[in-house]
Structure 1
Amino acid sequence: MTAPAPAPVDEGWTRWPAELERRYRDGGYWGDQTLGDLLREWARRFGPATALVSGPDRISYAELDAAVDDLAAGLATIGIGPGDHVVVHLPNRAEFVTVLFALLRRGAIGVLSLPAHRRVEIEHLTRLSGAVGYVIADRHEGFDYRELAREVTEAVPAVRHVLVAGEPGPFTALSALATAGRAARLGGGARTGAAGGVVSVTAAGSATDDAGSGGAGPDLGAERPDPGGIAVLLISGGTTGKPKLIPRTHRDYAYNARASADVCGLTADDVYLVALPAAHNFPLACPGLLGAFGVGATVVMAPSPSPDVAFDLVARERVTVTALVPPLARLWVEAAGWEGPDTTSLRLVQVGGAKLDEGLARRITPTLGAKVQQVFGMAEGLLNYTRLDDPDELVFTTQGRPLAAADEVRVLDGSGAGVVPGEVGELWTRGPYTIRGYYRAAEHNSAVFDGDGYFRTGDLVRQLPTGHLVVEGRVKDVINRGGENVSAGELEEHLLTHPAIGQVAVVGMPDPDVGESVCAVVVLAPGEALRLKQVKSYLQERGLARFMLPDRLEVVGEFPLTAVGKIDKRELRSWLDP
């Protein structure tokens, strides 16, 4: 394939080449609406229907649209507008939705960080994005984000505005900003200052502070954003290095959510539970809350994904669809066996973020009463879903097939040549919702995008004749034991079939004799005990080669998890003695 001419670079990100833009527009993948436009359309179509449930609040589509207008006008009063970056660091609550859409309406770009991020990550994200604002909750799960904001603003002075959902402390309350915005857009009133204080705004739009000094009035008429421009910056979900920024445009992300909703059969009768952090791609747009809003469904925000919280919401709100990562799916299934919750309303449980083992996949429907859907994808783009009409064997044993007909997939060996169909190779991809480069990461982009714009995912897969992919691990999740390559993912699958093992992670550990030794770290099923000798015997009986057998067995009570619920192998290694 001949490499296209270099795509234009705009402020640190790479657009699709003109030829592909035309192809995706002509193919109906891309439209001309911004995500802010779409909310306006949804409010017209579904006005009185319940859009969002968060704690005691039940918000209709019309009310959500008006709340977003108020907050967008409030952002204007403090000078946040087109092209500005704002780090959004909120848990699952209504303000996440109103802040996201208010930024979209202003043409500002939300940098969607995860609640578990702390100073190292937030300082990195604010610097990398050039953020002028930072949006936080006052407290969540015992952590005071206002103290973190103080540290961040001291370290990164470019962050001029800290907006707080809840008690603002020394910063600005989101509620006061929305009130000021409503007054401003109705022709006069007030705009907020530090610590939630107000600066008066005259009906004519001129502003004076308490000392009487003049200033510019709020620019409430922001220019409509470019539908082909960046809508949001997502955070890469890797477990090594500092997170990278993933630029998603209005056009590609709207398609991402719309097509995902179609694959999941979402309708206005559905109730979607946001159990995972809302800022993550999976519960945001796969189909997530954006896909649910697009069909007029109700979105329920879960403050925690724990079974005791989530099961209560499922029963009370009659939740029909939700998305989980495998460790959380296992926890739900086990808890449901103990507690017998009312999950009769559930029709679909999506599981993604990491490979779902077959044994757990087969337990979900009998335990929770819902069909399971495997989802394999990445915030950078490509999504694969098992379909609702797929045979059970494909649902339980594969990670789905690509979402779009325009998704282009290559499975390559280490030399860059295509593998024989059905053989394992590295997944490369491009398509109408897969990025062409990370934001402000030219050096890294040169290593993970080729001249044709294909993205090197780092995932090892094999593709079936049906198009379904089976994930076999990560290129970097291979342990070189004395010259023999041990796939951590493959060994984990075998270990999970042992009745005494509830969860497992296989990691390489430095070894002076063989380079890396193979360590199996396990969480045992209740009441079980296990020794390394027993594990080796079991695996040999399953026919594994001797070099695949673990050199070491460690038992832990739980695994460290990344912000999106994946097992954090980097942190896990730090727990283990060399």
Structure 2
Amino acid sequence: MELSISTGPAEPPLLGSTIGADLLATVARHGDREALVDCDSGRRWTYAQLKTSVDSVALGLRRLGVTKGDRVGIWAPNGAEWVLTQYATARLGAILVTVNPAYRSHELRYVLQQSGVRTLVAASSFKNSDYAAMIAEVRPQCPELVDVVLIGEDSWDSLTDISADPALLDGIEATLRPDDPINIQYTSGTTGFPKGATLSHRNILNNGYLVGELINYTEADRICIPVPFYHCFGMVMGNLAATSHGATMVIPAPGFDPGLTLEAVAKESCTSLYGVPTMFIAMLNHPRIDSFDLSSLRTGIMAGSPCPVETMKQVIERMGMTEVSICYGMTETSPVSCQTRTDDSLERRVSTVGRAGPHLEVKIVDAEGATAPIGVTGELCTRGYSVMLGYWEQPEKTAEAIDAEGWMHTGDLAVMDTDGYLRITGRIKDLVIRGGENVYPREVEEFVLTHPDVLDVQVIGVPDDTYGEEVMAWVRMRPGTAPLDAESLRSFCSGRLAHYKIPRYVRVVDDFPMTVTGKVRKVEMREISIRELS
């Protein structure tokens, strides 16, 4: 009996440097090449100019008293200053604490207190968020917070108004090690407060580098990054993948806007584009998509949540992203564990999340923790260089997630084929059990998406007195089509899905509740549905 366990390739070799040292090496190789484009402000940096700006921010932080191991928070939408702060803290060996731009004051207070942030770099405001006011509100309860630097204000100007002294920073760099913690990312908790996944230089630098290797990045690539920097998708798969290859980071806008993203791809001749499926759906349905020249695109990454088959096909056919890659992972694994390859068939790229990345192992385990046979659904676990150091100051939570053999338990249900390719079937907590029958939402979602009037769908379970749970579908309709009701959807599914998988309830919506990273909040959908269904 063949078991569901697979090991990724041993090539290319892992990088053995810190993030700062890797940036310096890239500057030495590609100093005159363009490194960063901030479309919103029109500013541009070559790699040599980027180093100068990064060093200026690093020295400004050092002048404030920031040293190795200190926590520096950043609370802002995407922008050049975010990137500068990311690399400046890496040069100092300070631990960058990335704060979700959607947080409100009580969540901000928790993160600042739990991680012990000493210095906070923040936007003064963005959209309907008054960051400066919220910081002022929570600051009295955060005694470890010494300095607040507001981007675009005098405090930022003062921080960066200093000539770079490479000798000082190079001396600090010599004391840093690849396994030092360098980043704390708070996972979007569905119950209670989020946990701070603590990541090292080795974790995230190698993950960004190897993700880029698998889609053949070189210094000629220009990567459009509309996904948020506060999450691994933006700062690791975007920024670190770019700088480890000498490629260009293109920031289309502070927050995701489908039109501005398409415009950035066209104007900056981007070769790669990132997004979660809902972002690609929004771009594909933009009324002017055909007016943008997207011919420069060849690759990109789709991740964050399962990709509808039809969306993937359109991204390849209409946007020209013939080498687009599906990535799977989680914050605790830096984030990518599995990835499709550029030479994978279309079928594999629309039906799986690929196979284990270089220097990583993956396996499927049953409820007792034993490795499951090939083709049997169970929990996906991963092990290797990418697994976090642990949850910040939460050893008990760390032990619950990472077992004694170093396997990270993801909480995701998956099935592996004989070639090591993985298909995600849902979250353990999202599994719907109707009358003793297991219903995997992903399977039902893929079928409902074959309805010609359905743009997107999410399937959840809601309580039921008779069956324990019933299946409910939240549906987004294509423009100009009539809303579906439960009876018509059941009729569409009848005879083509097993009766227990057919949604009993249907709710037509304009949008799904989302996290800032584009993940659908099924917990919130269930709460809303339970209230409405009484």
The alignment's TM-score, normalised by the length of structure 2, stands at 0.91
The counterpart of 2:71, out of the listed 75, 82, 85, is: 85
The counterpart of 1:252, out of the listed 178, 187, 203, is: 203
Q: Is contact 1:81-1:222 (8 Å) kept?
A: no
Q: Is contact 1:34-1:251 (8 Å) kept?
A: yes
How far does residue 161 in structure 1 lie from its aligned partner after superposition? 1.0
Matched with 1:212 is: none
The counterpart of 1:44, out of the listed 24, 28, 48, is: 28
- Residues 243-273 of structure 1: CA distance to partner in whole angstroms, max 9, x if unpaired? 2111221122221121111101111111111
Matched with 1:432 is: 385
How far does residue 186 in structure 1 lie from its aligned partner after superposition? 9.6
The counterpart of 2:485, out of the listed 531, 552, 557, is: 531
Q: Is contact 1:398-1:471 (8 Å) kept?
A: yes
Stretch deviating more after TM superposition (225-234 or 115-124): 115-124
The counterpart of 1:301, out of the listed 208, 232, 251, is: 251
The amino acid that maps onto 2:453 is A
- Residues 96-115 of structure 1: CA distance to partner in whole angstroms, max 9, x if unpaired? 11111111111110011232
Matched with 2:320 is: 369
The counterpart of 1:450, out of the listed 399, 403, 426, is: 403
Whole-angstrom distance in 2 between the partners of 1:133 and 1:312: 35
The amino acid that maps onto 1:297 is A
Matched with 2:363 is: 410
Whole-angstrom distance in 1 between the partners of 2:449 and 2:369: 32
Matched with 1:378 is: 330
- Equivalent runs, 1:510-521 vs 2, <5 Å: 510-521=463-474
- Equivalent runs, 1:28-427 vs 2, <5 Å: 29-54=13-38, 55-167=41-153, 173-179=155-161, 181-182=162-163, 185=165, 222=172, 224-286=175-237, 288-303=238-253, 304-335=255-286, 339-371=290-322, 372-381=324-333, 382-404=336-358, 406-427=359-380
User: What secondary structure is seen at the aligned counterpart in 1 of 2:326?
Assistant: strand
User: What secondary structure is seen at the aligned counterpart in 2 of 1:423?
Assistant: coil
Whole-angstrom distance in 2 between the partners of 1:57 and 1:108: 26
For CA contacts below 8 A with separation 6 or more, give which structure has more relative contact order.
2
How far does residue 387 in structure 1 lie from its aligned partner after superposition? 0.7
Stretch deviating more after TM superposition (372-381 or 435-444): 435-444
* Distance change >3 Å, CA 301–CA 338, structure 1 → 2: closer
How far does residue 28 in structure 1 lie from its aligned partner after superposition? 7.3
The amino acid that maps onto 1:535 is L
Stretch deviating more after TM superposition (62-71 or 492-501): 492-501
- Equivalent runs, 1:11-30 vs 2, <5 Å: 29-30=13-14
Calculate percent identity across the aligned residue pairs: 32
Q: Is contact 1:522-1:555 (8 Å) kept?
A: yes
Matched with 1:213 is: none
Q: Is contact 1:436-1:453 (8 Å) kept?
A: no
How far does residue 29 in structure 1 lie from its aligned partner after superposition? 4.5
How far does residue 239 in structure 1 lie from its aligned partner after superposition? 3.9
How far does residue 294 in structure 1 lie from its aligned partner after superposition? 1.6
Q: Is contact 1:76-1:219 (8 Å) kept?
A: no
Matched with 1:4 is: none
* Distance change >3 Å, CA 436–CA 156, structure 1 → 2: closer
Q: Is contact 1:477-1:489 (8 Å) kept?
A: no
The gaps in structure 2 that reach 5 residues or longer are 1-7
How far does residue 284 in structure 1 lie from its aligned partner after superposition? 2.1
User: What secondary structure is seen at the aligned counterpart in 1 of 2:286?
Assistant: helix
The gaps in structure 1 that reach 5 residues or longer are 1-23, 188-217
* Distance change >3 Å, CA 339–CA 119, structure 1 → 2: farther
How far does residue 35 in structure 1 lie from its aligned partner after superposition? 0.6
User: What secondary structure is seen at the aligned counterpart in 1 of 2:332?
Assistant: coil
How far does residue 351 in structure 1 lie from its aligned partner after superposition? 0.8
How far does residue 564 in structure 1 lie from its aligned partner after superposition? 0.5
* Distance change >3 Å, CA 322–CA 310, structure 1 → 2: same
How far does residue 57 in structure 1 lie from its aligned partner after superposition? 0.7
How far does residue 485 in structure 1 lie from its aligned partner after superposition? 2.6
How far does residue 293 in structure 1 lie from its aligned partner after superposition? 1.4
How far does residue 31 in structure 1 lie from its aligned partner after superposition? 4.4
Whole-angstrom distance in 1 between the partners of 2:21 and 2:489: 57
User: What secondary structure is seen at the aligned counterpart in 1 of 2:117?
Assistant: coil
User: What secondary structure is seen at the aligned counterpart in 2 of 1:498?
Assistant: coil
Whole-angstrom distance in 1 between the partners of 2:179 and 2:463: 47
How far does residue 413 in structure 1 lie from its aligned partner after superposition? 1.3
User: What secondary structure is seen at the aligned counterpart in 1 of 2:208?
Assistant: helix
Would you say how many aligned residue pairs link Structure 1 and Structure 2? 515
Whole-angstrom distance in 1 between the partners of 2:169 and 2:20: 18
Q: Is contact 2:353-2:422 (8 Å) kept?
A: yes
User: What secondary structure is seen at the aligned counterpart in 2 of 1:39?
Assistant: helix
The alignment's TM-score, normalised by the length of structure 1, stands at 0.84
Whole-angstrom distance in 2 between the partners of 1:93 and 1:384: 28
Rg larger in structure: 1
Q: Is contact 1:407-1:431 (8 Å) kept?
A: yes
Q: Is contact 1:71-1:182 (8 Å) kept?
A: no
User: What secondary structure is seen at the aligned counterpart in 1 of 2:455?
Assistant: strand
Whole-angstrom distance in 2 between the partners of 1:410 and 1:323: 27
The amino acid that maps onto 1:133 is T
